Amino acid sequence: MFKIFIQDAMTTRFQRHDSLRLFLEIVRYPSLSAAADALNMTKGALSYQIKVLEEELQTQLLHRQPRGIALTRQGRLLLETCQPLFSALEAGLRDIAQANDQELTVGLSSYFAARWLSPRLMSFMEEFPNVRLRLQPMTQLFDLENQGVDVAIRWGNGQWNDAKVEQFLSMPAWAVGNRDALAKVEALGLDQAIAELTLLRDHDDSDAWSDWIKAAGLPAIQRRDTLIIPDPNVRVQAVKNGQGIALMDALVADEIKHGSLVRLSESELSDYGYFLVEPFADRGSRPVRCFSDWLKGEVPQQRGEQAAC
């Protein structure tokens, strides 16, 4: 059991609040080295803070392993107990500080902003004139709490555990290439061509290509020549230039219509699309709710009565 005793309504014997907060940050990373780099601290300083916290609680919180760190049973219990409390505290302090601030910062790719969102923004501004909307182009839509983003728009399958996720726009993805890539598919067959062509990916942990290969009924392949290009605009141009093939959604319909991109197969990632992603610490501020409701209303198949804001 953790020895945190309440003496009265205002004081406790527990003194390591800074170490506790740092513990919650450290366990977001796979190793102390990664945490030290991200937090701009030394590995030794982090180890010391964990040590004094463990001494205060008289229990081991982390297993130090050659390849990283892992929570002990007590460490996991501490995380599950304290994380919601700190998140609620931070959200409450933010609400107090921004009580009169109706600014909304939306993180998203410039690709989605230009091709889908931008033409629709005027209706949001007319409906919610008191909300100051700021679009923040991002290629790494992760760790939103530390990037000052209230909500993000992210493409994928929604299988993310780092935030609250809700799909608002279904948009399957296709394998696309230029005409040289199509000629290779026609000459070698889809499976052999996919095995030889460079696969352009959005992130190093993305499962999109593996999911598409499975959906296409192709044998699983281990690739070492994949090229990671987080910016969708750059991926589109790389495909046009013949640097590889990519999984792109219907927002490239204009390129396909004019022939600068071609679909290489009828197979698609049917369960992929765009998701609203909110940090866990966010308690659903009014601007976020308004933006979410408005966004869903802009999708024809999801139009309906919007909740009052």
Give the end of a domain, one of 70, 97, 124.
97
Verify that 131 and 182 share a domain, yes or no: no
Is residue 140 within 8 Å of residue 108, measured between CB atoms?
no
Determine, yes or no, domain membership for 117.
Answer: yes
Verify that 226 and 191 share a domain, yes or no: yes
Verify that 155 and 189 share a domain, yes or no: no
Separation in Å, CA 108 to CA 135, 142, 255: 7, 11, 21
Which pLDDT score, from 0 to 100, does residue 142 have? Answer: 61
Token pair 């993805």 is found at 173
Verify that 258 and 191 share a domain, yes or no: yes
Tokens of 109: 């790719």
Which pLDDT score, from 0 to 100, does residue 287 have? Answer: 87
Tokens of 58: 């008289």
Provide the CATH number for the domain around residue 62: 1.10.10.10
Determine, yes or no, domain membership for 9.
Answer: no
DSSP code per residue over 130-163? T-EEEEEE-S----GGGGT-SEEEEEE-S--SSS
User: pTM for the whole thing?
Assistant: 0.63
Verify that 52 and 76 share a domain, yes or no: yes
Verify that 85 and 114 share a domain, yes or no: no
pLDDT tens digit at each of 309 positions of the chain: 454 443 444 445 677 788 888 898 898 888 888 888 888 899 999 999 999 999 989 999 999 888 789 999 999 999 999 888 888 887 777 666 655 558 899 999 999 999 999 999 999 999 988 889 999 988 766 666 667 788 999 998 888 776 788 999 999 999 999 999 999 999 999 999 999 999 999 886 678 999 999 999 998 877 656 788 989 999 999 999 999 999 999 999 999 999 999 999 999 999 899 999 987 766 557 888 889 999 999 986 444 433 444
Determine, yes or no, domain membership for 2.
Answer: no
Determine, yes or no, domain membership for 1.
Answer: no
Range of the domain at 147: 103-171+273-302
Determine, yes or no, domain membership for 226.
Answer: yes
Provide the CATH number for the domain around residue 259: 3.40.190.10
Verify that 135 and 277 share a domain, yes or no: yes
Verify that 21 and 161 share a domain, yes or no: no
Determine, yes or no, domain membership for 114.
Answer: yes
Residue 43, Cβ neighbours under 10 Å: how many?
14
Determine, yes or no, domain membership for 8.
Answer: no
Verify that 167 and 38 share a domain, yes or no: no
Tokens of 235: 């991926």
Which pLDDT score, from 0 to 100, does residue 143 have? Answer: 63
Verify that 155 and 285 share a domain, yes or no: yes
Tokens of 166: 């809700």
Give the end of a domain, one of 74, 97, 120.
97
Verify that 126 and 239 share a domain, yes or no: no
Verify that 256 and 124 share a domain, yes or no: no
Determine, yes or no, domain membership for 298.
Answer: yes
Q: How many domains does the chain have?
A: 3
